[in-house]
Amino acid sequence: MMMSVGVKASVCSPYSSLSISSRDFSFPSSSSLYVGRKILRPSSGVYLNRRCNSSVLAVIESSRVPELDSSSEPIQVFDGTTRLYIAYTCPFAQRAWIARNYKGLQDKIELVPIDLKNRPAWYKEKVYPANKVPALEHNNRVIGESLDLIKYIDTNFEGPSLTPDGVEKQAVAEELLSYTDSFSKAVRSTFNGAYNDAADGAFDYIEQALSKFKDGPFFLGQFSLVDVAYAPFIGTFQIILKDVMNVDITSSRPNLALWFQEMNKIEAYTETRRDPQVIVERYKKLIQAEGRL
| Closer residue to ligand GSH, CB minimum distance, 138 or 253 | 138
- According to the binding rule CB under 6 A, does residue 103 interact with ligand GSH? no
Q: How far apart are CA 100 and CA 94, in angstroms?
A: 10
Residue 182: φ, ψ to 5°: -65, -40
Strands 2-12 and 17-28: antiparallel
Q: Which residue among 20, 56, 133, 226 contacts ligand GSH (CB under 6 A)?
A: 133
CB of residue 76 to ligand GSH, shortest distance in Å: 22
Q: How far apart are CA 206 and CA 242, in angstroms?
A: 17
Using the rule CB under 6 A, give the single segment among 68-76, 85-93, 160-168, 222-230 that binds ligand GSH: 85-93
Q: Which residue among 9, 35, 116, 226 contacts ligand GSH (CB under 6 A)?
A: 116
- According to the binding rule CB under 6 A, does residue 128 interact with ligand GSH? no
- According to the binding rule CB under 6 A, does residue 279 interact with ligand GSH? no
Q: Which residue among 132, 138, 151, 253 contacts ligand GSH (CB under 6 A)?
A: 132
Q: Which residue among 90, 225, 229, 249 contacts ligand GSH (CB under 6 A)?
A: 90
- According to the binding rule CB under 6 A, does residue 184 interact with ligand GSH? no
| Closer residue to ligand GSH, CB minimum distance, 21 or 131 | 131
Site for ligand GSH in 156-175 (CB under 6 A): none
Q: Which residue among 61, 115, 145, 200 contacts ligand GSH (CB under 6 A)?
A: 145
Q: Which residue among 27, 47, 85, 92 contacts ligand GSH (CB under 6 A)?
A: 92
Q: Which residue among 63, 146, 190, 272 contacts ligand GSH (CB under 6 A)?
A: 146
Site residues (vs ligand GSH, CB under 6 A): 87, 90, 92, 116, 131-134, 144-147
